[in-house]
Structure 1
Amino acid sequence: MTLSLTGALKGAALLVAALFCLAEGGFAEASWVNSDITAAGEASDKPSPRDDFHRAVNYEWLSTAKFKSGESRVNSFSERDDEVEEQIKGLLTDGSLKGHEAELTQKFHRMLLDWNDRDRLGVEPVMPYIRRIEAIKSIEDLTAYLTDAKDPHFGSLLMGVGTTADSRDATNETVAIWPSGLLLADADEYRAAELSASAKRRKAANDAYIMKLLQKAGYGRERARAMNDGLFRIERKLAAKSMGLKALRMPAARRSCYNVRTKKELAAASKRFPLAAIVDSEGYGESREFVLREPEWLKNINEVYAPENLEDIKSLLVVKTLLSTANLLDREARGWAVERVNSVMGSSGEIPNDQYAYEMVSAYLDEPLGRVYAEKYADPTVKARVEELISKVTDYYREMLSKEEWLTKKTREKAIAKLDALTVRAAYPEKWEDFSELDFKDNAAGGNLVEAAAAIGKFERKRDAKLVNSKVDKSKWIAVPQTVNAYYSPADNSINIPAGILGGVFYPRGGGAEGLLGGIGMVIGHEITHAFDTNGSQYDENGNLSNWWTKKDKKEFDARAKAISDYFSTLDAAPGVKTDGELVLSEAIADLGGLSCMAAIARESAGFDFAKFFEAYAKVWRSRATKESEEYRIKEDVHPLPFLRTNANVQQLQEFYDAFGVEPGDGMYLAPEKRITLW
């Protein structure tokens, strides 16, 4: 996804008024308040839009916005999420709805809310899977477990596997293989001399949560402590040669993670760890080729997969099995899960029961739920209007590219060809996936949520494995209609605008052209710009990883991108913490491109009110979050912080200066020669 719910800081007055320490020469001493920080709205009087535009526009909202119980963030995305949630919660209890998708989602929903049955069962639904892992006595037993196609492997296969479009031939499906996830998320944390503040907080919360779950499953306190220690020990070994999150998000990863292997080559490279046998058991063994994303990880896991590590690997499998099912057990386990999230993200309380049930249905049955939602609430007239706006944006880009002076003819033609080949998906799919083969027993029939989750997982694996050696279906969506977000996919050169985001401040009813362009128009421009950012620009019109740039043009592109990265790196994310310009670069490019595109379209409209346009744009990025949530996002999120997505972007456009009378000496002023853009 390319539009994230970027979070921010809560807390001490020290954190409230972060100054922008801008580079010397042409910059004003801006005193922009980091209004993502909780309570920042009350820190001082309402500023002039000439000094802190984001806080000026959103001042009343920032002063009154409150977190809901159990949540660490509130913003325009979450507010629209709340609207969609209310619609869907009604559908989950509407007995008049017909169809298999409605039956599946409503049955799972009823099971989630049957706390009497869940409390009666307690931890027992997951215990057969725990006992299976405990029965492992040798590496050979471990291999037999990992290659058993009948087991849902809640606790992990020690690797990930699934189909994806081939980056060298995007018309064909291939099979990708990657490292399994880590409890601290980032492999770099395990290599650091000391854990970061957010990782320390996460580990402490994990430790407390894991100890409770293990003891609930029947392990004594000392055994539970030893297993938790073993879990971290084995994760440290597994992470030793894995790529960190930042490396994975850098443009170079697009090529470094594309390593084609045959199954014979995989088997030869993995003589101890049964990678090829796992691939077979999961249904992917007939693939013509495989993409091994991290060859160094594969070498490392073959060293780790040894008898001396067996007990620690078993601890990992037991703990991950409990973690992946805890939210499906009784009230006690559910409560512990809430405590963990609150400790990590700085939230407090618990989300309401009906919201929890809705979110769980969305997590396990998002596609069937999406069909039910779209058939009830997706408006075909809105879909048509969005498609028309997308057409206007592509027309602008076509004209812009044709006149871009720094592009040579060869690169310009390839860029326009990519634009002309863009696949457009708006609101909801034209055809729906078939879920007729998916079913599970409810409580009355002797079923439980863990077994239901196992059935869903088996169905999804089987569905994915059917794609092996097939052609890519370009009509298929990655997101679901109820998603409050949007994305560009370089793998099939597509822009995707789900119905969920077509409301709230993104698609204001009665907001006029200014609200439309500042909201969903900017979203569309942002996503199309991703086709030509540091990541998307590595793919051609068919979704192939291909260098279609001349050396001269690529050098100029890189120089322009570096100027954007360098500028964002001067901005304070928090006191003493600079924005990581490299990390946020692709999203910063997309923001700048989307806003510039909408401004260009607006110039063609007589009487267009640019002040209203920029105000509509600023409302999109209004956001409040806890300090803990913000620390996490500063380190891991590829998006600039919300207040920067407003202020650092509007100050690049002359129309902003004209609309609000911004002059040298004002906090929002940036000298023309210092303004940044790529397109």
Structure 2
Amino acid sequence: MRRILSFAALIAVAACRTAPPAPPAPAAAAPLPPLDEAALDRSADACQDFYRFACGGWIARTEIPADRSAWSRGFAELDERNTAQLRRILEAAAAGRADPADAFSGKVGDYFGSCMDERGIEARGLADLKAGWARIDAIADRPALAAELARLHGAGMTAPFGLLADQDAKDATQVILIVNQGGLSLPDREYYLSDAGKNPEIRRAWAAHLRKMLGLAGLPPAQAEAGAAAVEQLETALARTHWTRAELRDPSRIYNRVDRAGLERLAPDFPWARFFAELGQPGLDAVSVTTPAFVAEVGKQFASAPLDAWKAYLRWRLLDDMAAFRAVPAALVQERFAFQSASFSGAKELQPRWKHCVGVTDEALGFALGQAYVRRHFGAEGKDRTTRLVAEIEKAMEADLGSLSWMDAPTRERAREKLARVVNKVGYPDAWRDYSTMRVDRGSFFANVLAAGRFETNRQLAKIGKPVDRGEWLMSPPAVNAYYNASMNEMVFPAGILQPPFFNREAPETVNYGAIGMVLGHELTHGFDDEGRQYDALGNLRDWWTPAVGAEFDRRAACLEKQYGAYEALPGVRLDGKLTLGENIADLGGLKLAFAAMQAARRAQPAGDRALLGFTPEQQFFVGYAQSWCSKYREQEARRRAVVDPHSPPRFRVNGPLSNLPEFARAFACAEGTPMARPAAERCEIW
């Protein structure tokens, strides 16, 4: 699934068995300006650094909130507004004041209320955790270990691997089980294996954190020491067999359909029959693995690592997961936050409890909450205008395909076939998810987290062997995000992102084309980026390119890989041009398509232009795009993203693609060879 934005971490959890009274309805917020004059830095040369020109004023005056690792004028500020709207829905549901039309409002209110019950969580103390640990402690042999692994997987824990039901990449009509590499506490294999940068310091901090957390959870020092050492050893062994994030971007590499027999050959010492039986799927046969060497290593460790080491690992993973959800006492939550902040996020304080609880409730019951959200905050106008704009972007892509000199006729025909079959989903799904079987207990948030995990695991596993549900959404409607799904050949634009500054009813259309139009074009281009191009019109992983045209695509993509590989997120911290390649292709293609769609619309309605801050219509487009990406990051977060994020930092998401667009250079009269107008011989162009 390719998204316009990736999110770093879970949102936080909290307190009060009876939700507090709903706050009074806020006064209507002042509409956002179409373009923000105060965000500009007109002292900057647009041809030297357009990101600074468009965002320098915003960056200078903006402080990152204490509970955040980053902040942005677009995604973060919009997410903050959406979160406040969701809070009012949830507080009403928790207090029994929900609209009768809100589906599953009782479960939504109870889940949120249990999360907000901070006093109750403190009163329960370690009782829920100790009950989970008691089951782990009772493991007496390897078959019992497999059974407990299955029970924890059934409750949503992804250790030592992840399980996902998804389409077979080579037969998109089938749903099969995907076994993913996983099992790590740190964000990436590099933190375990590399001595570059701050990795040794982070490993030492993690070692101390492990021991402190286990001690706070009640283990005596000797047992905490032994348990932490076992976790470090086991996770490091697993990390050695992980593929890099750049390697995981190759769809052919990660497609390894082995089925049950092949799984048992890969890891013969792992009792798969017992594991699947305990999951309630004894006959499950259709299986693919992303990383065969990792699965083999899991099998080896299952047989060779001491049983006590596995128990220590499972105790730790349950503790860490529940501290992330803030379903355990505050001392554990604060210790986890202190480690994450110092090593990865840089945030100064925990998120307010209510914000965390909004986030985790959306994660658990997002389509029940989303149904209430769209009825209140997403009108038909937004859906209709976005649907029309998507059609305009697709028309621009059709025209672009007809003009590409490097594409031959057979490949062009298949590309047009794929474009014609793209499915567009806007705002919210046609059918809402049924949460009838999900159990929610107002008295224990810990139990509710596990119940939500069980519900989702059962929902995923139930898909296997069934017809593909082409109406399913992978993001809830309030999400400030969007995605392209190659196996479905579909684009999805949740209601949450279809609001200012991305879609602004008060803005000239030139600005909207630059903001939301680019998002639409970005997702469409993902269908034809270095990953998406490997899937055909029906969503099957199949090479539909003639060899010469495929080689030419790769040559053009290498230009972007080289360009972005030279950028530094921080001094001495370079971007990974391979990891970010797909997103960089999508940014460049999305801008080109959105600009072409805007110009076509202007030709159709030549009297529609509006003056704005002294900018021409073309300049409005580019400023509107750039200002939706104005952002600030704490140092720890910038370092982490450089390792794990397939998206380039916002500065390069603006300056990188624009420096390749002759349309931008003409709009701002940038001489060829200036930083924002790369020489023609060095310019990168694909779509």
The aligned runs of 1:56-95 (5 Å cut-off) are 56-75=53-72, 76-94=74-92, 95=97
1:300 equivalent to 2:301? Answer: no
One-letter amino acid of the structure 2 residue matched with residue 636 of structure 1: V
Residues of 1 paired with 2:599 and 2:114: CA distance?
54
Q: Which residue does the alignment assign to 2:439?
A: 439
CA deviation after TM superposition for structure 1 residue 123, in Å: 1.1
1:96 equivalent to 2:129? Answer: no
Q: Which of 473, 477, 480 matches 1:481?
A: 477
Match of 1:496, SS state, is strand
Classify 1:261/1:143 alpha carbon distance in 2 versus 1 (closer, same or farther; 3 Å): same
State whether residues 126 and 322 of structure 1, in contact with CA within 8 Å, keep that contact through their aligned partners in structure 2: yes
Residues of 1 paired with 2:471 and 2:251: CA distance?
24
State whether residues 54 and 618 of structure 1, in contact with CA within 8 Å, keep that contact through their aligned partners in structure 2: yes
Match of 1:349, SS state, is coil
Q: Which residue does the alignment assign to 1:621?
A: 629
Classify 1:549/1:201 alpha carbon distance in 2 versus 1 (closer, same or farther; 3 Å): same
CA deviation after TM superposition for structure 1 residue 371, in Å: 2.0
The aligned runs of 1:127-206 (5 Å cut-off) are 127-148=130-151, 152=154, 156-192=158-194, 194=195, 196-197=197-198, 199-200=199-200, 202-206=202-206
Classify 1:421/1:271 alpha carbon distance in 2 versus 1 (closer, same or farther; 3 Å): same
One-letter amino acid of the structure 2 residue matched with residue 378 of structure 1: F
Match of 1:365, SS state, is helix
Q: Which residue does the alignment assign to 2:270?
A: 273
Q: Which residue does the alignment assign to 1:578?
A: 574
The aligned runs of 1:214-293 (5 Å cut-off) are 214-249=214-249, 253-293=250-290
Residues of 2 paired with 1:202 and 1:86: CA distance?
35
CA deviation after TM superposition for structure 1 residue 300, in Å: 1.8
Classify 1:670/1:244 alpha carbon distance in 2 versus 1 (closer, same or farther; 3 Å): closer
State whether residues 288 and 469 of structure 1, in contact with CA within 8 Å, keep that contact through their aligned partners in structure 2: no
The aligned runs of 1:519-538 (5 Å cut-off) are 519-538=515-534
State whether residues 502 and 520 of structure 1, in contact with CA within 8 Å, keep that contact through their aligned partners in structure 2: yes
CA deviation after TM superposition for structure 1 residue 233, in Å: 0.4
State whether residues 240 and 300 of structure 1, in contact with CA within 8 Å, keep that contact through their aligned partners in structure 2: no
Number of residues paired by the alignment?
635
Comparing 320-329 with 288-297, greater Cα deviation is found at: 288-297
State whether residues 214 and 319 of structure 1, in contact with CA within 8 Å, keep that contact through their aligned partners in structure 2: yes
Residues of 2 paired with 1:72 and 1:138: CA distance?
43
Residues of 2 paired with 1:106 and 1:246: CA distance?
41
Comparing 516-525 with 636-645, greater Cα deviation is found at: 636-645
State whether residues 187 and 644 of structure 2, in contact with CA within 8 Å, keep that contact through their aligned partners in structure 1: no
Percent sequence identity over aligned pairs? 26
Classify 1:306/1:589 alpha carbon distance in 2 versus 1 (closer, same or farther; 3 Å): same
State whether residues 374 and 499 of structure 1, in contact with CA within 8 Å, keep that contact through their aligned partners in structure 2: yes
CA deviation after TM superposition for structure 1 residue 525, in Å: 0.4
Q: Which residue does the alignment assign to 2:14?
A: none
Q: Which residue does the alignment assign to 1:660?
A: 668
CA deviation after TM superposition for structure 1 residue 458, in Å: 1.7
One-letter amino acid of the structure 2 residue matched with residue 570 of structure 1: A
CA deviation after TM superposition for structure 1 residue 390, in Å: 0.5
Match of 2:251, SS state, is helix
Q: Which residue does the alignment assign to 2:4?
A: 3
One-letter amino acid of the structure 2 residue matched with residue 644 of structure 1: F
Classify 1:3/1:155 alpha carbon distance in 2 versus 1 (closer, same or farther; 3 Å): closer
CA deviation after TM superposition for structure 1 residue 641, in Å: 1.5
CA deviation after TM superposition for structure 1 residue 381, in Å: 1.7
Q: Which residue does the alignment assign to 1:374?
A: 374
CA deviation after TM superposition for structure 1 residue 511, in Å: 0.9
CA deviation after TM superposition for structure 1 residue 279, in Å: 2.7
Residues of 2 paired with 1:406 and 1:554: CA distance?
10
One-letter amino acid of the structure 1 residue matched with residue 431 of structure 2: K
Match of 1:172, SS state, is strand
State whether residues 161 and 279 of structure 1, in contact with CA within 8 Å, keep that contact through their aligned partners in structure 2: no
The aligned runs of 1:272-351 (5 Å cut-off) are 272-326=269-323, 327-344=326-343, 345-351=345-351
Classify 1:364/1:527 alpha carbon distance in 2 versus 1 (closer, same or farther; 3 Å): same
One-letter amino acid of the structure 2 residue matched with residue 488 of structure 1: Y
Match of 1:340, SS state, is helix
CA deviation after TM superposition for structure 1 residue 536, in Å: 0.1
Residues of 1 paired with 2:265 and 2:661: CA distance?
56
Match of 2:579, SS state, is helix
State whether residues 188 and 243 of structure 1, in contact with CA within 8 Å, keep that contact through their aligned partners in structure 2: no
Residues of 2 paired with 1:347 and 1:230: CA distance?
30
CA deviation after TM superposition for structure 1 residue 248, in Å: 1.3
Residues of 2 paired with 1:419 and 1:644: CA distance?
28
Q: Which residue does the alignment assign to 1:551?
A: 547
The answer to which structure, 1 or 2, has the higher relative contact order (CA under 8 A, 6+ apart) is 1
State whether residues 155 and 316 of structure 1, in contact with CA within 8 Å, keep that contact through their aligned partners in structure 2: no
One-letter amino acid of the structure 2 residue matched with residue 96 of structure 1: A
Q: Which residue does the alignment assign to 1:515?
A: 511
Residues of 1 paired with 2:320 and 2:234: CA distance?
17
One-letter amino acid of the structure 2 residue matched with residue 392 of structure 1: E
Comparing 306-315 with 169-178, greater Cα deviation is found at: 306-315
CA deviation after TM superposition for structure 1 residue 392, in Å: 0.8
Q: Which of 563, 588, 594 matches 1:592?
A: 588
CA deviation after TM superposition for structure 1 residue 243, in Å: 1.4
Residues of 1 paired with 2:413 and 2:305: CA distance?
58
CA deviation after TM superposition for structure 1 residue 583, in Å: 1.7
TM-score, normalised with respect to structure 1: 0.89
One-letter amino acid of the structure 1 residue matched with residue 341 of structure 2: N
Classify 1:209/1:366 alpha carbon distance in 2 versus 1 (closer, same or farther; 3 Å): farther
One-letter amino acid of the structure 2 residue matched with residue 2 of structure 1: R
**CA deviation map 1:10-66 (0-9, x unaligned):** xxxxxxxxxxxxxxxxxxxxxxxxxxxxxxx99x99412222111111121111111
One-letter amino acid of the structure 1 residue matched with residue 334 of structure 2: G
Residues of 2 paired with 1:454 and 1:617: CA distance?
41
Classify 1:148/1:5 alpha carbon distance in 2 versus 1 (closer, same or farther; 3 Å): closer
State whether residues 521 and 594 of structure 2, in contact with CA within 8 Å, keep that contact through their aligned partners in structure 1: yes
Q: Which residue does the alignment assign to 1:391?
A: 391
**CA deviation map 1:460-519 (0-9, x unaligned):** 222222211111111111111011011111010001111111112211221111111001
Comparing 134-143 with 616-625, greater Cα deviation is found at: 134-143
Residues of 1 paired with 2:150 and 2:341: CA distance?
36
CA deviation after TM superposition for structure 1 residue 245, in Å: 2.3
Classify 1:328/1:182 alpha carbon distance in 2 versus 1 (closer, same or farther; 3 Å): same
Which blocks of at least 5 consecutive residues in structure 2 are unaligned?
A: 9-37, 610-615
CA deviation after TM superposition for structure 1 residue 449, in Å: 1.1
Classify 1:158/1:508 alpha carbon distance in 2 versus 1 (closer, same or farther; 3 Å): same
One-letter amino acid of the structure 2 residue matched with residue 3 of structure 1: I
State whether residues 580 and 645 of structure 2, in contact with CA within 8 Å, keep that contact through their aligned partners in structure 1: yes
Classify 1:68/1:421 alpha carbon distance in 2 versus 1 (closer, same or farther; 3 Å): same
Classify 1:467/1:533 alpha carbon distance in 2 versus 1 (closer, same or farther; 3 Å): same
Residues of 2 paired with 1:442 and 1:313: CA distance?
32
State whether residues 243 and 294 of structure 1, in contact with CA within 8 Å, keep that contact through their aligned partners in structure 2: yes
State whether residues 652 and 677 of structure 1, in contact with CA within 8 Å, keep that contact through their aligned partners in structure 2: yes
Alpha-carbon RMSD across the aligned residues, in angstroms, is 2.3
CA deviation after TM superposition for structure 1 residue 303, in Å: 1.8
**CA deviation map 1:540-578 (0-9, x unaligned):** 011100000001111111111111212222333332333
One-letter amino acid of the structure 2 residue matched with residue 85 of structure 1: T
1:463 equivalent to 2:470? Answer: no
Residues of 2 paired with 1:450 and 1:195: CA distance?
38
Classify 1:365/1:339 alpha carbon distance in 2 versus 1 (closer, same or farther; 3 Å): farther
Residues of 1 paired with 2:43 and 2:223: CA distance?
57
The aligned runs of 1:46-61 (5 Å cut-off) are 46-61=43-58
Residues of 1 paired with 2:202 and 2:282: CA distance?
37
One-letter amino acid of the structure 1 residue matched with residue 297 of structure 2: N
One-letter amino acid of the structure 2 residue matched with residue 520 of structure 1: I
The aligned runs of 1:637-648 (5 Å cut-off) are 637-648=645-656
Q: Which residue does the alignment assign to 2:613?
A: none
Residues of 1 paired with 2:575 and 2:449: CA distance?
40
1:415 equivalent to 2:423? Answer: no
Comparing 468-477 with 181-190, greater Cα deviation is found at: 181-190
Comparing 75-84 with 290-299, greater Cα deviation is found at: 290-299
Which blocks of at least 5 consecutive residues in structure 1 are unaligned?
A: 8-40
TM-score, normalised with respect to structure 2: 0.88
